[in-house]
A and B are shown apart, each in its own frame.
Chain A
Amino acid sequence: MKGKRIPVDGSVNDTLRSVLALLLKATDAVMVPSRIPSKESFAYLLIRDPKLLEAATPLAPVMPVQGARALQSMGRGRGGLPGILCVLRPCEARAAIELFKRNQVDLEDVLLLTIDCPGAFPTRDYLGNPEEFDRRFEEILQGKQDDGLRPDCKSCVGFSLQEVASDVHIGLLRGKPGEVAVVHRSDRGERLLADAGVAGDDGISDWEAGVEKEARVRTGARDSAFQEMKGRAAGVDGFEKLFADCVNCHNCMRVCPICYCRQCFFDSGDSVRLRAEDYFARAQHRGGIRFPGDMMQFHVGRMYHMALSCVACGACEDACPMDVPVSRVFAFVGAGVQEQFGYAPGRSREEAMPMTTFKEDELHAFEDAGGISAPGTTETQSGKSKDQDSEGKVE
């Protein structure tokens, strides 16, 4: 792979801003995370005036808004409007492509620019002491490790250009002062870089090697995170424990880029409520039931809808007021389901969603194996529920 190497001048974000300024000349607008006037958080701005790029923070220490959501909120079918370059973390770009496949965002004249993602801090942590976290984030950009990043970021294996169909990517060669490497990943991206004068033919194998090395470390972290989750999420009991603190605020659904329903079924009031007599019947049968009664249904229903497209961006967990490890559960289940269908969300604009295709031979291996089960948990699980059944009858 070849690209354009640019030495870091000032901070990494300063350098990225100057690259964006060049790119803005070759496109009509740039959509980029920017520091909002209160200076304590970040939002997406659609910028046409190069002067406004001063506030742009292509790599922000937090991710209060998932970029795909921001892009989606521009609406669909812009048809005829000018081209936009949208700056996204790789996970955000993957989500944008998943939304594109569902007709929820029009990427016809949008170019996706991804950047090697250093991760993000939990938004609540950041808001507690912005200056401190800004300083720590600068150190991360220079290559320092920081254990305060969000759990999903620490075990993210898609932090660079792995399995993401972006048009342009910027790699980070961290250090003091470090370098950035700009590469095109599509024909449109190539044209943009050429028009903006950012095309280059420099060797970047040192960056590629660095990404590979980092990926190995992250894969290890992810494997152990999944292993831990496998134990915690096993069976209905495990699941209930994980979500025990949930207060049904549905924040996770509201920030999730893949949750694109106009109105969530679980927010639609009466449609999910049973009649009192039915609740009584259930309570009578099971000895007692939890209220509100649709908490687990909500999470399982949401998981069923989005597992194939979950990009493990962590937005849900970041928005959870109760510290439910919601993103870690979803990422774990999502990875398993995606593997079953050989599907990778955001990998390509053309790859059809498994839900919309029928392959006669799909899932056979899965069926033969008797379904998904965390190793060593199936037996104890069924044994346990049998015991409970017989106890129930004795009562």
Chain B
Amino acid sequence: MGKIGLYLCECGPNIAEAIDLDRITAEIKKDAKVAGIERFKLLCSEDGKRFVTESIKERGYERVVIAACSPKQHQATFEQVVANAGLNAHVFQMVNIREQCAWATPDKEQATSKALRFIRAAIGRVRYHWPLEQKEIECSPDTIVIGGGTAGIEAALRIAQKGRKVFLLEKDEPGGTRRDREWMAARVDALRNNPLIEVYEHCKIRELLGFFGSFVAHLETREGNEVQLKAGSVVLATGAVAFDPTGLAGYGYRELEGVSTVREFEKAASDASDGHPKSVAVIHCVGREKLGYCSGTCCVEAMRVARRVKEASAETEVTEFYRDLCLPGTEHDRFYHETAKTGVRFVRFRDIDVAREGPGLVVRYRQEDGSSGSVVADAVVLSAGVAAGPANAEFARMFNIPLDEHGFFQSEHPVLNPVGTVTEGVFVVGGCRGPAGALDATAQAGAAAGKVLSALVPGRRLRLETRTSEVAEALCVGCGICVAACAYGAATLNEDRHIAVVNEVLCRGCGNCAAACPSGAAQHRQFTTRQMDQEVTQILR
């Protein structure tokens, strides 16, 4: 089993004052399972790290237990320290006696007993730790970007700017929902003229196979040809759709002439050449309740309508009806004040109803204080929220990434990894991951481009997760329960041999398969039956 060295970190006063380290030392000595116990003020300091490395070498420890803070904080630090001493990083077990003992248990006696159980568990399990091999694969540095809207174009241009090949796949033509903006034409031109970007228009993605560093996309071109593209990462930028207010009571959409959505109104305005309306009413928050969230981008869109109308004809009266104004940040606030200065009237409503009376439309509203009023308008513009694209479900299945309750792609973590997903190497940017203004979409695309560029450097090999699962072929009966339990598509059935196999590159080491396997065939390399048995036995002893 090898000589075990135990290191106790005092973490300044954090651990030393809350836990009786002398008692722990004495008890562990009595157990006689470790070859040596060392204590240090701050193991994560440069001195501390050097101390551990030196003493492992000096005393010839073959297994190492470090009782300190949370592995979330310093697992990687100490793995490196152990590796520096010439050992495999996995013959080491970290014990959290700070967050889980010193900080969580106020009674010193109890905290000490708890820490003792944890340390014994770690000593018990580390006896059954074996070196794990660090594997690498060669990656493809190319990127597939799906969707040619604001976010997709930005991501493609940023990645290509660094000399990297990009395939941009678009179901329609590049431009996205902002294709009418003046700046978009230049972006599309830049995209089409970039020699490193191959644009596939009017194509359909049939399948995506593979994993981070080595994806293969099968697509069907407009001409009906099957094309295979290889890339190391994928950026999903499939956008969102505008909420359809058809059938929503009180707005008269598709029932009353003169009621239109923002996009319809803008299109009609750019096509029309005759005269200007006398009065326009813009209603915010259409579909807000049905969607269940504030899209955060439509207030500005609605005000942009007012600005355009005013620019075309300053005499036209414009009223913006809103429930809540969502104007995050300085830019949007400035835009609001400038809009108000142009003479646009802002009215806050609680209930609203659009009806046709004679030649015009009448918008009747009631306010929070119960007072009510009405505005006569030639045109009523409905500013609706943003809804998830209908194709999201199909992409979610293909890429093995979850959708949130509203049908948008879920990022791996809203703060820690906002553009990454549970499928490594697949990024989500722009409207497909939730309503996003042009600013947000661009920023997210930049973030994803940065991630792609830093993770997939040409010629670099990818280091794979070492703590993965494996299937013991002799025990596997090929029932496929692990395949259903695997969230990463790593476990698959080998039909010929009728056994399950784990793809080491896709496996994230979550251990679901090991827990679900009735035969004990699927095992996690760092949570073997024996390691867990020792751990639990020692904790409960």
Query: CA separation between A145 and B518, bound complex, in Å?
Result: 40
Say yes or no: A76-B498 contact (C-beta < 8 A), given A103-B493, A104-B479. yes
Assess the B477–A261 pair: CB atoms within 8 A: yes
B359 to chain A: closest CB distance in Å?
53
Q: Residues 238-280 of chain A: 1 if any B CB is under 8 Å from the residue's CB, otherwise 0?
A: 0000000000000000000000111101001001001000100
Assess the B481–A261 pair: CB atoms within 8 A: no
Query: CA separation between A285 and B539, bound complex, in Å?
Result: 13
Query: CA separation between A386 and B480, bound complex, in Å?
Result: 42
Assess the A261–B475 pair: CB atoms within 8 A: yes
B484 at the interface (CB under 8 A from A): yes
Assess the B498–A274 pair: CB atoms within 8 A: no
Task: List, in ascending order, chain B residues with CB within 8 A of A102's CB.
Answer: 477, 479-481
8 Å CB interface, B442-494 against A: 474-481, 484-485, 493
Q: Residues 81-117 of chain A: 1 if any B CB is under 8 Å from the residue's CB, otherwise 0?
A: 0000000000000000000001110000000000000
Assess the B493–A263 pair: CB atoms within 8 A: no
B520 at the interface (CB under 8 A from A): yes
Task: List, in ascending order, chain A residues with CB within 8 A of B493's CB.
Answer: 103
Assess the B537–A103 pair: CB atoms within 8 A: no
Say yes or no: A103-B480 contact (C-beta < 8 A), given A262-B519, A265-B519, A274-B537. yes
Partner of B477, one of A77, A104, A305: A104
A322 at the interface (CB under 8 A from B): no
Say yes or no: A271-B529 contact (C-beta < 8 A), given A103-B478, A278-B537. yes
Assess the B474–A281 pair: CB atoms within 8 A: no
B516 at the interface (CB under 8 A from A): yes
Assess the B476–A77 pair: CB atoms within 8 A: no
B162 at the interface (CB under 8 A from A): no
* Count of chain A residues near B, Cβ 8 A: 22
Assess the B481–A356 pair: CB atoms within 8 A: yes
Assess the A260–B479 pair: CB atoms within 8 A: yes
Query: CA separation between A282 and B536, bound complex, in Å?
Result: 13
Minimum CB distance partner of B478 in chain A: A103
Task: List, in ascending order, chain A residues with CB within 8 A of B541's CB.
Answer: 281-282, 285
Assess the A262–B533 pair: CB atoms within 8 A: no
Say yes or no: A262-B474 contact (C-beta < 8 A), given A285-B541, A355-B516. yes
Assess the A356–B484 pair: CB atoms within 8 A: yes
Task: List, in ascending order, chain B residues with CB within 8 A of A77's CB.
Answer: 495, 498
Assess the B478–A261 pair: CB atoms within 8 A: no
Assess the B481–A355 pair: CB atoms within 8 A: yes
B535 to chain A: closest CB distance in Å?
12
B239 to chain A: closest CB distance in Å?
28
Assess the A262–B476 pair: CB atoms within 8 A: yes
Task: List, in ascending order, chain A residues with CB within 8 A of B476's CB.
Answer: 262
Partner of B520, one of A268, A356, A357: A268
A226 to chain B: closest CB distance in Å?
26
Task: List, in ascending order, chain B residues with CB within 8 A of A285's CB.
Answer: 541
Assess the A262–B480 pair: CB atoms within 8 A: no
Say yes or no: A265-B484 contact (C-beta < 8 A), given A103-B493, A260-B479, A274-B533. no
Assess the A355–B484 pair: CB atoms within 8 A: yes
Task: List, in ascending order, chain B residues with CB within 8 A of A271's CB.
Answer: 520, 529-530
Assess the A356–B518 pair: CB atoms within 8 A: no
Task: List, in ascending order, chain B residues with CB within 8 A of A274's CB.
Answer: 533, 537
B403 to chain A: closest CB distance in Å?
13
8 Å CB interface, A50-72 against B: none
Task: List, in ascending order, chain B residues with CB within 8 A of A305's CB.
Answer: 518
Query: CA separation between A281 and B31, bound complex, in Å?
Result: 11
8 Å CB interface, A314-373 against B: 353, 355-357
Query: CA separation between A357 and B498, bound complex, in Å?
Result: 22
Assess the A103–B516 pair: CB atoms within 8 A: no
Assess the B519–A261 pair: CB atoms within 8 A: yes
Assess the A263–B533 pair: CB atoms within 8 A: no
Query: CA separation between A10 and B89, bound complex, in Å?
Result: 77
Assess the A263–B519 pair: CB atoms within 8 A: yes
Minimum CB distance partner of A258 in chain B: B518
Task: List, in ascending order, chain B residues with CB within 8 A of A356's CB.
Answer: 481, 484-485
Query: CA separation between A301 and B4, bound complex, in Å?
Result: 33
8 Å CB interface, B493-541 against A: 493, 495, 498, 516, 518-521, 529-530, 533, 537, 541
Query: CA separation between A263 and B521, bound complex, in Å?
Result: 10
Minimum CB distance partner of A278 in chain B: B537
Task: List, in ascending order, chain A residues with CB within 8 A of B477's CB.
Answer: 102-104, 260-262
Task: List, in ascending order, chain B residues with CB within 8 A of A260's CB.
Answer: 477, 479, 518
Minimum CB distance partner of A99 in chain B: B479
Query: CA separation between A102 and B482, bound complex, in Å?
Result: 11
Task: List, in ascending order, chain A residues with CB within 8 A of B495's CB.
Answer: 77
Partner of A265, one of B485, B520, B537: B520
Minimum CB distance partner of B493 in chain A: A103
Minimum CB distance partner of B484 in chain A: A356
Task: List, in ascending order, chain B residues with CB within 8 A of A76's CB.
Answer: 478, 498
Task: List, in ascending order, chain A residues with CB within 8 A of B533's CB.
Answer: 274
Task: List, in ascending order, chain A residues with CB within 8 A of B475's CB.
Answer: 261-263
Query: CA separation between A356 and B476, bound complex, in Å?
Result: 17
Task: List, in ascending order, chain B residues with CB within 8 A of A357's CB.
Answer: 484
Minimum CB distance partner of B540 in chain A: A285
B274 to chain A: closest CB distance in Å?
56
Task: List, in ascending order, chain A residues with CB within 8 A of B529's CB.
Answer: 271
Q: By CB atoms of chain A within 10 A, which of B477, B493, B498, B530 has the most?
A: B477
B531 to chain A: closest CB distance in Å?
12
Minimum CB distance partner of A75 in chain B: B498
Minimum CB distance partner of A305 in chain B: B518
Query: CA separation between A355 and B518, bound complex, in Å?
Result: 11
Minimum CB distance partner of B405 in chain A: A360
Query: CA separation between A393 and B73, bound complex, in Å?
Result: 39
Query: CA separation between A77 and B494, bound complex, in Å?
Result: 13
Query: CA separation between A102 and B520, bound complex, in Å?
Result: 15
Minimum CB distance partner of B516 in chain A: A355
B211 to chain A: closest CB distance in Å?
23
Task: List, in ascending order, chain B residues with CB within 8 A of A355's CB.
Answer: 481, 484-485, 516
Task: List, in ascending order, chain A residues with CB within 8 A of B520's CB.
Answer: 261, 265, 268, 271
A353 to chain B: closest CB distance in Å?
8
Q: Residues 6-35 of chain B: 1 if any A CB is under 8 Å from the residue's CB, otherwise 0?
A: 000000000000000000000000000000
Query: CA separation between A151 and B177, bound complex, in Å?
Result: 70
Minimum CB distance partner of A277 in chain B: B33
Residues in chain A within 8 A of chain B (CB atoms): 76-77, 102-104, 260-263, 265, 268, 271, 274, 278, 281-282, 285, 305, 353, 355-357
Would you list the 7 A-B pairs with minimal beta carbon distance, nearest first?
A: A356-B484, A102-B479, A261-B519, A305-B518, A265-B520, A262-B477, A103-B480
Residues in chain B within 8 A of chain A (CB atoms): 474-481, 484-485, 493, 495, 498, 516, 518-521, 529-530, 533, 537, 541
Enumerate 16 A-B pairs (CB-CB under 8 Å) in ascending A order: A77-B498, A102-B479, A103-B478, A103-B479, A103-B480, A260-B518, A261-B477, A261-B518, A265-B519, A265-B520, A271-B529, A274-B537, A278-B537, A353-B481, A356-B484, A357-B484
New A-B pairs, 4, CB < 8 Å, besides A76-B498, A103-B479: A104-B479, A262-B475, A262-B521, A274-B533
